Structure formats: C-alpha cells, structure tokens
Structure 1
C-alpha cells in the first residue's frame, strides 16, 4: 500500500472517516515497533523455500535460514508487476504511470485514467479537484467498482468514456502527448491529449512457490478454514493471499484474519493448555 499508492485515501476502515494508505501503514509499523521483545523484523528477505523437518518448519531465502515451530502466511498477492498496455513505445514515455506516488505531480494537468475498477475510479475522483481535467476510459459499459463509488463518479466533473480501448500512443521522445482510443462497438476512434496517463489495469501476481510448498492453491490463493488454518498442520494464513467461500476483499477483513491466525497458532503451539481467549 505505502509503496504503490501512499497518498490514496482509504474510506472503509473502522474509526477513520478517511486515512491515506501511507498514514495507515505508518500506524501499523509504529504498533509493531512497540513490541521489539516479541517481534524480530527481517527486511529484504524473500523466502523461496519452506520445508517441514520433523516437527519444525525451515524457511530459506538467498541470505538466511529461519527455523520455526509454526508459520503464518500474510504476503498479500505475492510479488507482482502492473498489467501494461502492450502498445508500441510504451516503455519510452516517462509520463505513463501504473501507480500514483504523489498527487501533487498531477496538479493543473490534463490526466487520462485507463481502467474500470475501484482503483481507477478512486484515482480519478482524487485527482479531479487537483488536475486541470480528468478523463476516465473503460473498455466496458459497466464498471466493476463499488456501486457507491460509481455513483460518486457520475456526479463528479470527471469525463467518462466507456466501451473504448487504447490503440496507439503518440509523443515526442520521452513524453507522451496523446492517446488514440477505439470504440469496441463500431471501431470509431478518438484522440485524447494528456499530460499524464494512469494505467489502472491491475497487477499480475506470482505465488507459484506456494504450490511447491505443498499448499492447496485455488486461483492463486491459499485455501483456509474459518480458523485461518491451511490443510498443513502448523501453517496458517491471513489476508489477500487466502480464499474461502464468501470472502470479501477488504483491509479490515485481512486484519481480522491476522488476529484469528495468531489465535489459532497460539492454540497449536500450546496444545492441551487452557488459555485465556485473545481479546
């Protein structure tokens, strides 16, 4: 969150009318830092192998080996890269963005946003009062974002273009100047001039190693039960890496799953010992 869109406003966290992703992550980091005697943080340490040896789990990275009695998986969607346009010269233009780092970079500019999900609409709405103009282009008639967000979008000053797809990029050296879009219905085209282009088509994640570790993976997600247990005894999971029937993709749900995974892990580590419930 804080790396890809630190200034994006989050609205669905209890206790906050609104808070930026960066601010929320900072608060979580401060909370973790308050427990140095319980939590040992290892940064830049990508686990590539997980094995069970006797009653212990051995996690290996390129630089270290960690031995533990249990494991909680909470890696979100894994390592990921943004889905790109795959149009000629796309890599040459420095004003094509896949994540919004600073909203101040868009002040007084003509901005085109490509996409139809929550992120695309959120960015269009956030930049609308700052930019000179904001145009949102979606390839379908219907948006796949939350209905409340779509209604707010329709009431805003954002220029909405549906049933069009990007076909060509035009620019001078490293600077994109316009984008040609084409109707999926009659193949008519339009040229949209812009100072900044935001491509919000989502990301491609890679968590193939989870299957190599022997976990049950469904549509790139680890299947868990309501106690956040995987099918491997001693391995638990929480957050966007997980799946179960009826799961919603919400930050607050991922936090609750983290608590449940911790409680289940605690019971696993202290089998037979009656404990006070975690509150």
Structure 2
C-alpha cells in the first residue's frame, strides 16, 4: 500500500463532532477523510432540523437545518474527502502501524489515525409498540417534524419524556390548537429550563401515562383517538387527536464496536478516553457522545472542543515534534492558502 492511498486522519461520523474535526484537521494540515453511514452529513441534528438550538457559542438561536448547513460549509474549507452511505464494520491495525477500515460497501480505507465521532451510533428510532401502527406513518403518526406548519391548528399528542418530546411540545405550543404530552414517568428528562417552560405553558401534561390503544377514523386511514393508560392504576382514557408524535428515544447500533481493536475499552457502548481524547487503542481517538471522560459536557459546544483535542492528539501521534495545537485562524497560514487556492 502506497502512502498516497493512506489518509492522516479518518473521521468516522459526520455529525457536529465529526464535521468540526474535519475542519480543524485541515487547520493542522492533515490529509483528512470523513466516513458517514447516512447519505447526508449532519448526524443526529438531521432528526430535528426544525428545532431551535440555543447552546452553541457565538450563534443566536438557530434551527438544526441552519446549523448543519454552517457546519458542512465550514468542514469543507480544506477539501476533505467525504464518503457517504458507508457503515464501518471492521477496524484492524496493520503490521506497518496504519489502520485498515472496512465498510459494508466492500470498500477498504487506510489511515494513519482514526477519530471516532459516531455519537451513540447509527440511530434506529424506537417505534410505537402497537400492532398495525406502522400503516399510519404515511398519514398522522410521526417520528420527526419536518415542517411545523403541517400541525397548525391541530390537536397534537406527543408521547415521550426526553429532550425531543419537551422541545417539540414547546415549539408546537404556539402553532397547534392544543398539545398534549404523555409520559410514563412523572419526571421529564429534558433540559430543566425547557421542562419548566413547558410546564408553565398551555401544554396539557399527562403523567404517568402511555399510549395503549388507537382508534381510527371511519375510513381507517388515520388515527382519530389514542387510548391512554395510567401506568400505576391501570385506568384508561381516550384523547381525540389530529396528529401523534412519538419520541421514545433511539436504539443505537454500534456494530463496528463488536469488531474493534482488542485494546479499546468499551463501557456501556461508549469509549473510555483521556482528557486529550485518546482511547486505549494507540492511534485511535474519540470525540462527542461516544467518548467517556470525567470532563465531558453533553452539548454540541462540548463536542467541538473534544474534536479539536482529538485532532491535536492525532497530529502529535503522527508528528511528535509538531505544535500542541493549531495557531488561531487570524494567524494561521492554512487560511491564506485556502483563499488563494
């Protein structure tokens, strides 16, 4: 294998951590590739393109779609290679110290270092566990929101208690005729400020309840009512609805971790890392939700910092004599080259 076929850094995952790592890797003058399972970049943010993101430094409240667009534009500054629609199924370290990365498309990629930015893995959305419910996914049973306006003036029932359920309740409250949130526990897992906002709005909160049954409209093409069962006393009630949103979380698929280099330390489907984003496997680094270290902050802003740390560690792994970090953009020659090229 020729060095020309080998990248300095291969980033597995094209979400916020992976995209910022691609940008920062270019700042460090590293030959970079990104491998993403989906056919589009953006990672989990693609699930909530219409939601407002408040907690990224330097940005006013921004929609998920806008954030993805900005991240992609930034990531392409130094022209990394992008491989879409490929799932990594195996990683092996070769005798020459480089890595061979195999994907489900029968492709082999070669890299001196790897940055794992896979988040919680390929996201398989948890579905409404009622027989025959899937046929309503083409009418009024939803697992994501692509356009808030489609719910204007409607009675909406949301099932779930995490960030997505809470955030969509707040987003839809001024748009829909009514919003009802159903959660099987009294406690909500969303960010405190937004849970408080929901509780002080017109959103009708039913806890501890779960959707237990559905009634269809006369022609059987859509859901007209949902049966809600109290999770403690078993009592049921019916609620009329025009649309049902299910946010029961995701079932992560991290298949490649079943075939990882043996010295990676996997803990509850996350990787133990140092504060410099080094995994236990030499030459493999991690950033974002897949990394597990004492100082992690579970925010997109935290993923950006981890991405930079991972790239710096990769740079020093390849070139031990290099500077510990990149010069700031106003003094970095890479930007002059980018403008002239």
Fold match (TM-score > 0.5)? yes
Q: Which runs of 5+ in 2 are unaligned?
A: 1-43, 329-341
Cα 1:213–1:203 shift into 2, 3 Å: same
Q: Does residue 146 in structure 1 map to residue 191 in structure 2?
A: yes
C-alpha displacement of 1:162:
1.0
Cα 1:89–1:209 shift into 2, 3 Å: same
With normalisation by structure 2, the TM-score equals 0.78
**Distance in 1 between the 2:324 and 2:252 partners?**
39
SS of alignment partner, residue 289 of structure 2: helix
Q: Does residue 234 in structure 1 map to residue 283 in structure 2?
A: yes
SS of alignment partner, residue 193 of structure 2: helix
| Equivalent residue in structure 1 for 2:133, among 87, 90, 99 | 90
Q: Does residue 6 in structure 1 map to residue 55 in structure 2?
A: no
| Equivalent residue in structure 1 for 2:153, among 108, 124, 130 | 108
Q: 2:255 is matched with which residue?
A: 208
Q: 1:58 is matched with which residue?
A: 100
SS of alignment partner, residue 181 of structure 1: strand
Cα 1:241–1:97 shift into 2, 3 Å: same
**Distance in 2 between the 1:15 and 1:275 partners?**
27
SS of alignment partner, residue 143 of structure 1: coil
SS of alignment partner, residue 157 of structure 1: coil
Is the 1:88–1:169 Cα contact (8 Å) retained in structure 2?
no
Moved over 4 A (4+): none
Q: 1:45 is matched with which residue?
A: 86
Q: Does residue 117 in structure 1 map to residue 157 in structure 2?
A: no
Q: Does residue 135 in structure 1 map to residue 180 in structure 2?
A: yes
Q: Does residue 225 in structure 1 map to residue 274 in structure 2?
A: yes
**Distance in 1 between the 2:124 and 2:143 partners?**
9
Of Structure 1 and Structure 2, the greater helix share is in: 2
**Distance in 2 between the 1:97 and 1:136 partners?**
14
More displaced stretch, 240-249 vs 91-100: 240-249
Q: 1:194 is matched with which residue?
A: 241
Is the 1:45–1:63 Cα contact (8 Å) retained in structure 2?
no
**Distance in 1 between the 2:253 and 2:159 partners?**
23
**Distance in 2 between the 1:193 and 1:156 partners?**
20
Is the 2:155–2:179 Cα contact (8 Å) retained in structure 1?
yes
Q: 1:277 is matched with which residue?
A: 325
**Distance in 2 between the 1:3 and 1:250 partners?**
16
SS of alignment partner, residue 88 of structure 1: coil
More displaced stretch, 1-10 vs 219-228: 1-10
C-alpha displacement of 1:274:
4.3
C-alpha displacement of 1:17:
3.0
Q: Does residue 267 in structure 1 map to residue 316 in structure 2?
A: yes
SS of alignment partner, residue 4 of structure 1: helix
Count of paired positions: 276
Q: 2:58 is matched with which residue?
A: 15
C-alpha displacement of 1:15:
1.4
Q: Which digits, 9 at most, give the CA deviation of each residue in 1:62-95, with x for residues without a partner?
A: 2421111111111111112111221122111131
Q: Does residue 257 in structure 1 map to residue 319 in structure 2?
A: no
